[in-house]
Amino acid sequence: MGLDQYLYANAYLSDGSWLKEEEQKTFAKVSKALEVDSFICEEYPSITVNVKVGYWRKANQIHNWFVNEVQDGVDDCKEYYVTREKLKELLQVCKDVKASNHPDVVNELLPPAQGFFFGNYEIDEWYWEQIDDTVEQLQHVLALVPENYNFAYQSSW
């Protein structure tokens, strides 16, 4: 048990006649690969692709940021939409915290948070490893996930 955190990238695919031929081909390939042709809605066929692109384990400072910056302070383990701009903001916050390495800056920008099985609340080696991991994950996601994807964050504890 403990705090698990997920970042998803979602894309909506459809077979609409108004779409570009390339988008219609992508929809056809995905629906065939998923073998959904027999039960997909014929009137308005569509698929949502949901890919897990990030994962944290007991990174309570990162979770706390999402709760405060994305979830309006509500920590309820629901899935929340996250803009690409917000992910860029979190990336910058992590870089700023890492560059400063000062307790006052850490506690102002990305403080540890307590919660049910949230892990260590100290600013120690584990804290800094999670910051490094977050920088790596977000740089990877922001560089590789196409612009037509949306993002969502969800925690579980």
Supply the pLDDT for residue 116.
66
| Mean pLDDT (the chain, rounded) | 93
Rounded Cα–Cα distance for residues 7 and 153 (Å): 5
Supply the pLDDT for residue 119.
73
Q: What is the pLDDT of residues 37-69, one digit of tens each?
A: 889 998 889 999 999 999 999 999 999 999 999
Q: What is the pLDDT of residues 88-136, one digit of tens each?
A: 999 999 999 999 988 899 999 999 987 667 777 888 999 999 999 999 9
List the domain range (segments joined by +) for residue 69: 55-156
Using an 8 Å Cβ cutoff, are 60 and 112 in contact? yes
Residue 116 lies in a domain: yes
Rounded Cα–Cα distance for residues 16 and 27 (Å): 9
Residue 33 lies in a domain: no
Q: What is the pLDDT of residues 61-90, one digit of tens each?
A: 999 999 999 999 999 999 999 999 999 999
Residue 87 lies in a domain: yes
Rounded Cα–Cα distance for residues 45 and 79 (Å): 24
State whether residue 119 is helix, strand or coil: coil
Number of folded domains in the chain?
A: 1
Supply the pLDDT for residue 113.
85
Spatial neighbors of 1 by CB under 8 A, at least 6 apart, are: 117, 157
Using an 8 Å Cβ cutoff, are 49 and 136 in contact? no
Record the tokens describing residue 40, joined without a space: 């997909």
The pLDDT of 19-35, averaged and rounded, is 91
Residue 121 lies in a domain: yes
Residue 41 lies in a domain: no
